Structure 1
Amino acid sequence: MNSSSKTQLESQFSSGDVDILSKVSLYNGFFKMTKVSFRHQLFQGGWSEIIERELFERGHAVALLPYDPISDSVVLIEQIRVGALESDSPWQYEIVAGMIDKDQTAEQVAIREANEEAGIDVSHLEKISHFYPSSGGCTEQLDVFVGCVDASKAVGIHGLEEENEDIRVHVVTREEAYALVTRGIIENAASIIALQWLELNVSRLRSQWNTQ
Structure 2
Amino acid sequence: MTKTYFFYGTLSYPPLLERVLGRMPNMRPAFLDGYEPRVARRNGEDLPFPILVPSDLGVPGILIDTETPEEDARLYAYEGGYCLHACDVSADGIGGTVRAQVFLPDEGAWQTGGAWDLADWAETWGELATEAVEDTMASLQDLDFDQIYDRREAMMVRAAARVRARETGPATLRRSAERGDIVVSDRRMPYAKFFSVEDYRLQFRKFSGALSAPMERAVFVSCDAAVVLPYDPVRDRVLLIEQFRVGPMARGDGNPWLLEAIAGRVDPLETPEQTALREAQEEAHLSLRKLVPAAQYYSSPGAKSEYVYSYIGIADLTDDAAAPGGLAEEGEDIRPHLVSFDEMVALLDAGELNNSMVVICAQALIRHRDALRAEFGQA
Q: TM > 0.5 between the two?
A: yes
Richer in helix (by share): 2
Q: Is the Cα–Cα contact under 8 Å of residues 120 and 150 in structure 1 kept in the other structure? A: no
In the alignment, the residues of structure 2 paired with residue 172 and residue 16 of structure 1 have an alpha-carbon distance, to the nearest angstrom, of 51
Larger mean Cα displacement after TM superposition, 14-23 or 76-85 = 14-23
1:68 aligned onto 2:235: no
Shift of 1:37: 1.1
Which structure has the larger Rg?
2
Where do 5+ consecutive residues of structure 1 fail to align?
1-6
In the alignment, the residues of structure 2 paired with residue 143 and residue 150 of structure 1 have an alpha-carbon distance, to the nearest angstrom, of 22
Number of aligned pairs? Answer: 206
Q: Which residue of 2 aligns with 1:197?
A: 364
Could you tell me which amino acid in structure 2 is paired with residue 18 of structure 1? I
In the alignment, the residues of structure 1 paired with residue 323 and residue 378 of structure 2 have an alpha-carbon distance, to the nearest angstrom, of 29
1:4-58 deviations in Å (ceiling 9; x for gaps) = xxx9413143464111112111111121011111101111121111111111001
In the alignment, the residues of structure 2 paired with residue 159 and residue 17 of structure 1 have an alpha-carbon distance, to the nearest angstrom, of 43
Which of the numbers 335, 340, 351 marks the counterpart of 1:173?
A: 340
Structure 1 residues 206, 14: closer, same or farther in 2, change over 3 A?
farther
TM-score by length of 1: 0.92
Secondary structure of 1:151's match? coil
Q: Which structure has the higher relative contact order (CA within 8 Å, separation 6+)?
A: 1
TM-score by length of 2: 0.53
Q: Is the Cα–Cα contact under 8 Å of residues 234 and 378 in structure 2 kept in the other structure? A: no
In the alignment, the residues of structure 2 paired with residue 69 and residue 46 of structure 1 have an alpha-carbon distance, to the nearest angstrom, of 53
1:77 aligned onto 2:241: yes
In the alignment, the residues of structure 2 paired with residue 71 and residue 209 of structure 1 have an alpha-carbon distance, to the nearest angstrom, of 11
Which of the numbers 263, 274, 282 marks the counterpart of 1:97?
A: 263
Shift of 1:59: 1.1
Which of the numbers 183, 203, 211 marks the counterpart of 1:39?
A: 203
In the alignment, the residues of structure 2 paired with residue 145 and residue 172 of structure 1 have an alpha-carbon distance, to the nearest angstrom, of 18
Which of the numbers 186, 193, 197 marks the counterpart of 1:22?
A: 186
Identity among equivalent positions (%) equals 34
1:106 aligned onto 2:272: yes
Structure 1 residues 129, 16: closer, same or farther in 2, change over 3 A?
farther
Structure 1 residues 130, 168: closer, same or farther in 2, change over 3 A?
same
Structure 1 residues 14, 129: closer, same or farther in 2, change over 3 A?
farther
Shift of 1:84: 1.1
Q: CA RMSD in A?
A: 1.6
